[in-house]
Chains A and B, each alone.
Chain A
């Protein structure tokens, strides 16, 4: 798989692979299966308004071999509440004689049994290949079975998250879901991830984040970090707010993609919705679970750089080419000042360390039919690959309490998580220095062990260790739900959520980071402080009604939202200390400046509703809508309406099909169309204001125009269409789904780039342009082998996305003319067309599009390079044999990226270079990929180098295939243990990478940020 030549080449391979799997799977088919899709809905009775007499029902639930099944859910049909079985498969439940009980358990057929006055009901559940019926998907304001859903909802379970040694929940989703593209920005602990659901909708790069909701409470993804403090170590927006959700506390992550699923989130649903559901208490015997793992991580994919002899050859040749002799006084590397034989592998020196990982967690859960609880706690620690004692660690507590009244009509639930973390890092990432330093640069320490400045001839990279970054955050996410069943089928619910995030960040830059030749002492030491706090509450009353009548089933939901979010941020710069040991203390600074003092409020109100109608369990219609108001818009623009219609037809319910094509066990056609929006523009943007700048002049603090003023912008809108087919074959041994989506974003709300002559770089305005994201999402899931002792499951997902700027009236005369091309994706670069070397002068040549004899921007930057992936996806396999289970997951992306060779300094200059640059022009007549070396003294070559970085020559294949996760676990047989379950496991993340990409990592394609690390851990899990 080292060559990913094109979409065309991979698809047949995948298809072949799928077919082989299915054939292999069917020959090994030897277990009993039950058909599960023939269930028709029983009409419920409508009349009983009087609550019937309750009685106790108890029993045991076993599997087909007579073994007890713990954790089986038992519910009364059409009524709230329920129970579940304990470790011995025993349950107890209050029910009336007229009730019907539903027994459901993942991977087993759901059984429906009328109580009919029985007090003991024992049930045997048959295992099935899949159980679409049993999978209850969280759709936010409601739940829906996988079978009956009309929208596009992808899901990841605790089991898959638990196989990955990650600290950020987003990391666990990489490659796992079609249409969901996640990129890791840095291998430094605490760093962020970019997530895009179904492509780039907004022209503003920072407005493509999905809405993230934890247990019903929106979780702000805007970082509280301050780039002046964290920018040099954590790229992009600093630390990820999602670090504050412990992956071990997550039960499920659902991703909502199409209009049917997202329109109920209205103005915040345009970029998709990520629903995180945390673990809840289960009834039964009190259970204690302990889990711990530890391991290590390292950089595995480094660049091949020049060795000393090659580097010096390059430098000498550069000066010879430029006709410069003798070497300039400041060319220390080559003029004899530095040792000409010395060699340091700076990548190994600066990035070659090992990061240690440790994770421990404990949880207790239990309860009875009325009260259940879960209390869990976790601790996690991660060090860095840099030299020095740096660590990221966090601790968390998670609590869930549920109470049901004995008559089951009232339910109260509280869930709360508190997490605190501390991230202690060097002030700067060493990745850039590791690649740029000359290989013959002096040793980092002198003979006395002090930082070696070599007579001011270089900037010692370890000076960066003097700078330190320290961040402490704490996060509280709490929500309470009160639910009351007024009548059978009619339920009143109110949820109240509160989240609070606080952060303290500090970056210290002591004078010891400077060359002593500057003669600076602690009076020049500086420290940046950032203190930020964000809290938000949300109130969502809801009324839901559910009714069965004959073949009709109707669900209605009405609700409202009130939300308020406040945010404060306070950045300070402290300068001049009497001693460097006091650098963290603001009161010890001779001067303290306020960098920013931000105080914002966001208010949001909405009403929403849903009507779901099903006929005979095979025709499904789902209508959703929302009216939203947001404080982010000016008067008259605050309110907007959004909505969607979704429909599905389960055609395998039709008798004619069952008769003609019996091997199709499940078939559903579904489609949806609707409108969503986006208000991700920040607060107060519509006001014309002056802001306090923090710069003082003559004792007066300055005031500055905040931005260019435009009061008239409104919502961005996104029209989404989806058509999909879901199929199950051979009693659902093989499940296939294919979805086609087409999302059109218009009324684009963008900071329109402006020339600096306007005084600012941009203005916020609605742009009458349309961006289209369309594509195919294909999924395969098969149970290849289902023997008693040996099981093998395979899942494959593939996304073929296409992003296009469909229309842009007036593009030619707009300020975007050199940024976008109609008919091309948004993520493009307009660059020079590289045409080869001038073999006489040895300088890069480019196509002169306007034939004026000059290579100029923008006239000659007409070639288009597309940077979005052509396709991406993943393949997971789960193999279990007796007590062993092996999971492995492969992620793949086909894409074009920034060629590493052209991201650093100019070949011939003072920075080290990749080996590839040796293939260069040396004398007239040479035709090579790399131009003549220059020390900077040859203008034509300087200009050509500046141009080549913005040319087709500077891009290369950045496709990759990564063995992302391997997890091997062993359940210690119970005969060796008493009343304890023990599981031992080993896990690996980012184990192998197959790519033609020459730089560090094709994922973040960065020369300045640490690539994702390879992590290997081993652990143990005990359950009492």
Chain B
């Protein structure tokens, strides 16, 4: 066959051969070259090679800020209807739901979650995606050669802070979870769940490191990136949740003592303004002129409310004359029926310059943390004094040391101070072991096992080491 072919070719006219040769040459140029340049393309303008990102302060910072933006817009801390403020508010006793309960948010409201609920998935997926981002920053910084030490340690501190923060929310929602501290997917795809206590140990380690690395001053004037004291404030919360009262008190005091930076706003209407002196760390709005997603989510004008309103239980729990009810809650009525919405954030639409940012950590919480730490350690005076700092501002009479059960007072104070802020109420009910008593009494769907959310169903399908589903699902 080949012989036949060649013999034919050889026997042909010269002109033909010349044509053939030149043409063959052209084709073999393409064929034989196999020259890789023919199939090489440049990186598109919309992407940067990873190693380059951490050789430049601007791009390295953009990677860290993106994690805050993600938390603000997409998962966990977002003020939208897929964040914990909204969904865990429904799940606990803060919000009533006025849309169809045959829906994924509706399942939160009636405490009938299934392990395929999209928001349950979103907390988990979104949370671990942010953790991946934090880990990739930590690893990128390790290999960076050009960033200054100050810049590198500041960014490292922020990344550790972010990693700890997200794990804190996940462990409180799901119970035992994996603590992820690398980007290696081979490792992360086979992880098993860690007991809650070990997750706390890891969170505390990260925050202690971050506290060493972060500067005392804010990097930008508007407190949208955590400094050392924001980190200490979060650490105080973590110690409190972990039952380490003494350390919680110490960290809280360290923050409260920064009197030049932080003070309780006298006027309740100023607490959530972006210049508030009470703020330890807040999430910047989408861009200048924008305000918070919380305001868009909660404020309504007509009755019955189109989506959610504050529960009667919450409204009824404010003490007589509590200014917080006047300033932070707004009633909407059609003359016969009255409904209430959260009014901590007042700017529903854009303003010329942004007025309000979403405040994640503020001094009032730090006072409450210290009050509880004192109370748990038996220092009733210290605890009462801290509670009264908030009572003063709310124009409520001071508590006396002997008045009622101190811990009950603290739980109550946390309820009316921190309502509709990042699921505080739900986490508090769990910590105080009151979830079953309080939620079980008013919510027909509540069961003891609802204290933990279900781990997304899909996770079990792809990670054989994840163990079993939380009880009740």
Contact = CB atoms under 8 A, between A and B. Distances in A.
B257 interface: no
A602 B462 contact: no
Nearest to B36: A638
Interface stretch (A127-135, A473-481, A811-819): A811-819
Contacts of B464: 813, 817
A456 B98 contact: yes
Given A330-B99, A456-B306, A517-B306, A613 B1 contact: yes
Contacts of A599: 44-46
A1007 to B, nearest CB: 15
Contacts of B45: 597, 599
B270 interface: no
A688 interface: yes
Interface stretch (B177-185, B207-215, B321-329, B399-407): B177-185
Contacts of B70: 695, 702, 704
B256 interface: no
B315 to A, nearest CB: 16
A156 interface: no
A700 B62 contact: yes
Interface stretch (B18-26, B144-152, B426-434): B18-26
Contacts of B58: 700
Interface string A696-710: 111111111110110
B224 A755 contact: no
Interface in B415-473: 444-445, 447, 456-464, 466, 468-469, 473
A487 B30 contact: no
Contacts of B63: 690, 702-705
B289 A591 contact: yes
Interface range for B: 35 or more
Contacts of B306: 456, 515, 517-518
B217 to A, nearest CB: 16
B350 A627 contact: no
Contacts of B38: 562, 603, 605, 629
Given A49-B13, A757-B180, A937-B444, A705 B133 contact: yes
Contacts of B101: 328, 330, 909-910, 935-936
B39 A604 contact: yes
Interface stretch (A239-247, A719-727, A759-767): A759-767
A914 to B, nearest CB: 16
A500 to B, nearest CB: 19
B305 A815 contact: no
Contact of A638 (B1, B20, B39, B189): B39
Contacts of A630: 39
Interface string A284-306: 00000000000000000000000
Given A517-B302, A560-B31, A690-B47, A697 B456 contact: no
A905 B112 CA distance: 14
Given A759-B129, A856-B468, A541 B27 contact: yes
A631 B41 CA distance: 6
Given A604-B39, A638-B36, A697 B44 contact: no
A515 B305 CA distance: 11
A388 interface: no
Interface in A668-710: 683-684, 687-693, 695-706, 708-709
A934 to B, nearest CB: 9
Contacts of B13: 49, 487
A709 B100 contact: no
A543 interface: yes
A942 interface: yes
Contacts of A43: none
Nearest to B63: A703
Contacts of B40: 603, 631
A758 B42 contact: no
Interface string A744-762: 0000000001111111110
B50 A519 contact: no
A779 B107 CA distance: 54
B59 A858 contact: no
B281 interface: no
B331 to A, nearest CB: 15
B66 interface: yes
Contact of B5 (A519, A556, A605): A556
Given A456-B305, A541-B26, A911-B102, A700 B65 contact: yes
A123 B469 CA distance: 83
A757 B188 contact: yes
B304 A456 contact: yes
Interface in B7-60: 8, 12-13, 15-16, 19-20, 23-24, 26-32, 34, 36, 38-51, 53, 58-59
B287 interface: yes
A892 to B, nearest CB: 35
B44 A684 contact: yes
A946 interface: yes
A524 B350 CA distance: 10
B65 A943 contact: no
Contacts of A556: 5
A513 interface: no
Interface string A930-943: 00000111010011
A587 interface: no
Contact of A702 (B1, B39, B62, B460): B62
B91 interface: no
Given A757-B128, A818-B462, A819-B461, A704 B133 contact: yes
A600 B300 contact: no
Contacts of B224: 697-698
B48 A690 contact: yes
B467 to A, nearest CB: 11
Given A684-B47, A687-B43, A591 B102 contact: no
B461 A858 contact: yes
Contacts of B116: 946
A110 to B, nearest CB: 27
Contacts of B216: none
A756 B124 CA distance: 7
Given A492-B23, A763-B185, A857-B460, A629 B102 contact: no
Contacts of B191: 755, 757
A702 B102 contact: no
Contacts of B28: 607
B24 A758 contact: no
Contacts of B136: 705
A412 interface: no
Contacts of B42: 601
B131 A759 contact: yes
A642 to B, nearest CB: 14
B47 A687 contact: yes
Nearest to B186: A758
Contacts of B375: none
Interface string A608-635: 0001010000000000000101110001
Nearest to A46: B8
A850 to B, nearest CB: 11
Contacts of A946: 114-116
Contacts of A487: 12-13, 16
Nearest to A949: B116
A683 B445 CA distance: 49
A309 interface: no
Contacts of B169: none
B49 A688 contact: yes
A704 B130 CA distance: 10
Given A696-B69, A697-B68, 12 more contacts: A456-B98, A556-B5, A591-B287, A596-B46, A599-B44, A605-B39, A687-B49, A698-B65, A702-B69, A759-B129, A759-B180, A817-B464
10 residue pairs, one from A and one from B, having the closest CB atoms: A759-B132, A702-B66, A607-B31, A560-B30, A909-B102, A517-B302, A519-B301, A818-B461, A755-B463, A605-B38
11 contacts: A492-B23, A558-B27, A601-B44, A638-B39, A688-B50, A690-B49, A695-B286, A704-B70, A754-B189, A813-B464, A857-B457
